[in-house]
Structure 1
Amino acid sequence: MKLAAYAVQETSARGRVYPEAESVSRTPWQRDRDRVVHSTAFRVLQYKTQVFINHEGDFFRTRLTHSLEVAQIASSIARSLQLNEDLTQCLALAHDLGHPPFGHAGEWALQEVMKEYNGFSHNDQSLRQVTRLEQRYVHFDGLNLTWESLEGLAKHNGPVLKPDPYLQTYNQYYPLELSSYASAEAQIASISDDIAYHSHDLDDGLRAGLLNLNELRDLPLVGEALHEAKKAMNDCQFTEHFDNRLRHEMIRRIIDYLVTDLKTQTLRNIEALAPKHVDDIRYAKIGVVQFSDEVGKANQQIRQFLYQNLYYHWRVNRMSRKGKQLVKELFSILSENTDLLPKEWQKRLQKASERKQRKGELRVVADYIAGMTDRYAIEEYQRLTDLAVLA
């Protein structure tokens, strides 16, 4: 497929930190995507919480299925806008590589315990994962992704005016031009994340019985999708699994509304900007990948609804509290007794100890915990304490 002039292209690519001969059969961003897919961090996403902890049911989203859904939506949008689909897919698949166990509860726990030591954020951790923590190659740590992929990971939410400490340090070593926007491909990956989790968290909330369809009737865009889904179901010949079919029809329509509006508004923005090169996208005054004002407001209302009615539902709060407490206690045990860390992590710890950096030692412990799945964190806690948790 011929790419638009403002897409990320091989002719304008800025290369990798460690020079490598490029593949004769794959683009640089196909290689990046494949490295992400084969990474340890990507594989363990299958047992990391999206909203519901792993043992609560086999049919709820995990960080892995969420990432795959983001990649599908993002790829479709990029292709229709003649953008670099490989780069978009890579960023969509990599955006949650740094998420710790138990979703945002685990992240909040690590933020608290690392508050005096440069804190913790899953975005910062994703960059650490692909630049340092993955140890698969003989010539370098990390995945040695292209500049464009690293830029997209660092700036997918827009210009970074107050970078996290690791990003700030890394940017001095390998400048990612943090004060500008990222490529249109990175912007698509970011907003596709919103589309995926808003629609699919509604789906999981309904499946779990924490939400009901009556609550959604007056929610902008969602209520319209529900109304149209009911009309379609009235003409449907199927009577079995009616509620499941209705739910899926509604979710399908929500995704379609959001994606269609996003593509339409983004094309308007691109026509107004008239970019001739990817740098015209980067140095624009606003991000070009956006919803229309009306749908953007509706999307924010969906987000607010989910926070009020799902993410802080009392049943979710109970599990989140347990997950947060477990992570904090794991950190306390391992930071005070670093000889309990596995052998390969002892080696990483030794480097920090040689530099007499307590901050570095604690970062190793945080890295170790951040890489755990929900299941492994529970089992590790039980091994260290003989206490059962998260029942």
Structure 2
Amino acid sequence: MPVPRGSKPTGSKPLRPGKVVRVENARPEKEESCQAKRSPSSPQGAPKKRSAFGDITNAGLGKKDTVKAGSRKAQKSSAALGVLKNNEINLKKSTRKTPPAEAPAEPNVVPKNSPVPEAPAPAQVLAVEDIDKEQLDDPYASAEYAKEIFSYMKEREEKFLLPNYMEKQYDISRDMRAILVDWMVEVQENFELNHETLYLAVKLVDHYLVEVVSMRDKLQLIGSTAILIASKFEERCPPCVDDFLYICDDAYKREELIAMETSILRTLKFDINIPIPYRFLRRFAKCAHASMETLTLARFICEMTLQEYDYVQESASKLAASCLLLALKMKSLGSWSPTLEYYSGYRAQELHSLVKRLNFLLTYQHDDKLKAVRTKYSHRVFFEVAKSVPMDMMKLELALKS
């Protein structure tokens, strides 16, 4: 195992020639203190490096005081330093006057019987659980960097916020976009692609339409090309170009698909690592210790929003947190815990309005033409979560307040 940076190796160092080191004179209490202090980030439990703090320990201060005291005695014993004696007398007189000046600082001392202000801090720290500690031994989980990775993804959300781009698309409507996304869900199922590929492809379509005004006859070409790009980014074995030409029923030529791929990448400046709610949802479900059925229900709610243009402007992390909170309420699994608040960065009150909108989407907004998502999550592989009964709006209001 590699030795952590900043820690001393536990093995013995080679001695310099001509220099004798007596190990038996080492103080046992120092050895016990060194063995008791372990670095929490080191898997070997190597002792902390304390040499950098040797000059500010109490022992070091004591040595300096003795040296100063010895120099003062030498100055007092010298007859030629009479002026220094007068300075010492003046210094003693000034030090006698200093205690009254420090007296007003005494009320700041906390009495022994009132440790109340310090009580909430330990309770708040203990309520947050370290969700990555169980996977520290898994080299594929990257648990050491998980928190930093998701913090970085949340920072990147501000760069990829979508405006209301339908105002300038005179030949494309919201319904056309919903039909396209419904078709993209079917493509994801037919090719057995990852869900991350689907979410990223929809994001690529939206960000491309922000910059480019397109015609309706090119909309399916944009969607299929977006899936091709997302597959190259997410999949181990992405489908080839001929596969996408086939699913488009040969409506486009190979040159058109490659040209559209080049256009999308150049328009987005090849920055396609866009944060998607699916990754945040998996992370937040881990914080809640949610079962696979609860997580699948939250995924179904989140995937339903892909077709709805009204949710395009929502950030990925907030949408994922709201979908999980609604799934927890539908399963009667409690409220937003401090661990979820810490890792998501959202309080429960910040999610209430979006949760109500999501429940309204499940309850009332049904389109017979757009049934790919509901059909997909009605299968027993997905626990038939699409058949779950949505919550009554009044009951949801009471559940969010509790």
Structure 2 length-normalised TM:
0.22
Highest CA radius of gyration, 1 or 2? 2
The structure whose RCO (Cα within 8 Å, separation 6+) is larger is 1
Structure 1 length-normalised TM:
0.22
